[in-house]
Structure 1
Amino acid sequence: MSVRKILVPLAGRPADEEVLATALSVAKAFEAQLVALFARADPTEALPYLGDGVSGQVIEDLMQAAREGANEAAARVKASLTKAAAAAGIPMAEKGGEAAMPSVRFVDVTGRRDEVVAKHSRLSDLIVFGESTTGVAGGTALEAAMMTADRPVLIAPKKAMAPAGGSVCIGWDDSPEASSAVHAAMPFLERAKKVTILCIGGKELDPGPGSTLADFLALHGVVADVHILDAAGRAVGEVLLEQAEKSKADLLVMGGYGQSRLVEFLFGGTTQHIRSHATIPVLMAH
């Protein structure tokens, strides 16, 4: 798998610049095109909730205010993209022109954010989300990309280092989700200077699955060390992040939503913990 198209959903917030820095570093490393996606809400969808007693003039004023707000947010996204791309020395792709690589492109679409993100994610190699878009407000869009569109996502915390070409830790539990994440991360793993497989469980944990993954990676030219860790009753997400930080990893690779989203939401889980506490870029797949 190669990384040629990177989708970055943006909302016109100050945090856009931080996620763009990480996404642009990935685009530059893989000579890919970064597509900044702005999804503007359709103001007419709010009409059924206004009630029958609202006058036509008030409705029109609300619609106009919503359109102006969306236009301002879209302008901020485009300005942040232009500024960040110029600083990184990456050109803006011209419509109808030759597809220079790496490059950036701006897309402005009207529709529900999660639906727009899911649609555009289907034909993207990687979707990058910033820290501010992984919480309650942006969580549905991230889940839409990873679960509805079945694409890998990269969570970029504030002041994240470049995730390509350094040290990579893999959170491995022999699950289908973890396997998907490893396959999605192969472009990063093949470039990594150091790869560490973290298998977390009790003292009875069989090292076999981790060794099987190491053998698989070796066939792709990736040398990996296997570390068997005892969680000692602690949350798996907490141990994963702690070990990744101790290893000075530039990227953590792991499966996402090994249990249902409802269970994760109600009782917490590894995915939710990582999304809320990650201090390094995290590549997840389902």
Structure 2
Amino acid sequence: MSYKTIVVNLAVDANPAPIVKLATELAQRFDAHLVGFAAADVPPLVSTGEGLVYEGEVMQIARTEIEKRLAELRDIFENIVPNSISSEWTQYICGPTRALGIAARSADLIVTADGGEDVFRAVDIGSLVLGAGRPVLVTSGNAEHLLAKTVLVAWKDSREARRALSDSLPFLAKANEVVVATMETGPTGDVRNSLADVAVFLEQHGITARTEVIAGDADGDRLVAFARSIHADLIVSGAYGHSRLSEWAFGGVTRSLIDESGINRLLSN
């Protein structure tokens, strides 16, 4: 298994160079076709001193500004990506989360930086992971490189974790060290059996992994701390093992990982 098509999302309000460089390296590593992507939309209502109103002229100005920015992003993408890499550009005047979901139809992997609050100009990472049907690599900060030499797989015996494990195989196959870890408070017998099965699964794919049980309740901060202790630069995790509503209301590992910008995360649902 490999990633044959990678879509990289260039946020309209961020410096695109770091993530384009990172995605270019990934395309080289996996011999993949690279799709540069950017999208933004004009809010349907315009705020004025008299409240929210429809204003055609103002909306057209906003659309023109978006089109100008998309053209700039395309130029940057095409200038950074070398001719030796198969690549193309796509853009939408549309909410970026929805548009990325469309682009995901023909992609193996989506690469994006952290999202933002403005749904017209920034990706909602949670909604993207839930709706894209593809693994989403959320890069750390303004990272220009992702070596993924040490990868932490956050394991829980769930559909989402199994999906994430399979989706991450191309990274795991090229890693120097793979650590599969789970967080557990009760008896560890069944947990260790589950981890052993995962290790066998990976071995069948030519990947050697060690397993760890992290004592304590499932907690995203604890997971990230463990990742740093083993010098992992990529965490692989299933997303939203509980309902998304309960995770956002009461916290959860997924929310912690989405909020964590200091490490690369591969999320799958």
Output the CA distance in 1 between the equivalents of 2:194 and 2:113: 32
Shift of residue 284, structure 1, vs aligned partner: 0.9
- Describe the SS at the equivalent of 1:61: helix
Please say if residues 5 and 35 of structure 1, whose CA atoms lie closer than 8 Å, have aligned partners that are also in contact: yes
Output the CA distance in 1 between the equivalents of 2:5 and 2:144: 20
Paired position in structure 2 for 1:68: 64
Letter in 2 for 1:259: H
Letter in 2 for 1:34: L
Please say if residues 125 and 258 of structure 2, whose CA atoms lie closer than 8 Å, have aligned partners that are also in contact: no
Q: Structure 2 stretches of 5 or more lacking a match?
A: none
Paired position in structure 2 for 1:218: 203
Paired position in structure 1 for 2:117: 136
Paired position in structure 2 for 1:46: 44
Paired position in structure 1 for 2:161: 178
Matched, 1:9 2:9: yes
Paired position in structure 2 for 1:112: 95
Paired position in structure 2 for 1:96: none
- CA 1:54/1:196 → structure 2, altered by over 3 Å: closer, same or farther? closer
Paired position in structure 2 for 1:59: 55
Letter in 1 for 2:207: V
Q: Which has the higher helix share?
A: 1
Please say if residues 12 and 40 of structure 2, whose CA atoms lie closer than 8 Å, have aligned partners that are also in contact: no
Output the CA distance in 1 between the equivalents of 2:182 and 2:11: 37
**TM-score, length of structure 1 as denominator length:** 0.82
Letter in 1 for 2:152: C
Output the CA distance in 2 between the equivalents of 1:136 and 1:267: 19
Please say if residues 170 and 252 of structure 1, whose CA atoms lie closer than 8 Å, have aligned partners that are also in contact: yes
Output the CA distance in 2 between the equivalents of 1:265 and 1:54: 29
Shift of residue 155, structure 1, vs aligned partner: 0.5
Residue by residue, what CA displacement relative to the aligned partner does 1:117-136 show, whole Å, maximum 9, x if unpaired?
A: 111112210011102x2x43
Percentage identity across paired residues of the two chains: 27
Please say if residues 16 and 130 of structure 1, whose CA atoms lie closer than 8 Å, have aligned partners that are also in contact: no
Paired position in structure 2 for 1:263: 246
Shift of residue 268, structure 1, vs aligned partner: 1.6
Matched, 1:230 2:215: yes
- CA 1:73/1:199 → structure 2, altered by over 3 Å: closer, same or farther? same
Output the CA distance in 1 between the equivalents of 2:92 and 2:14: 20
Shift of residue 40, structure 1, vs aligned partner: 3.5
Matched, 1:81 2:77: yes
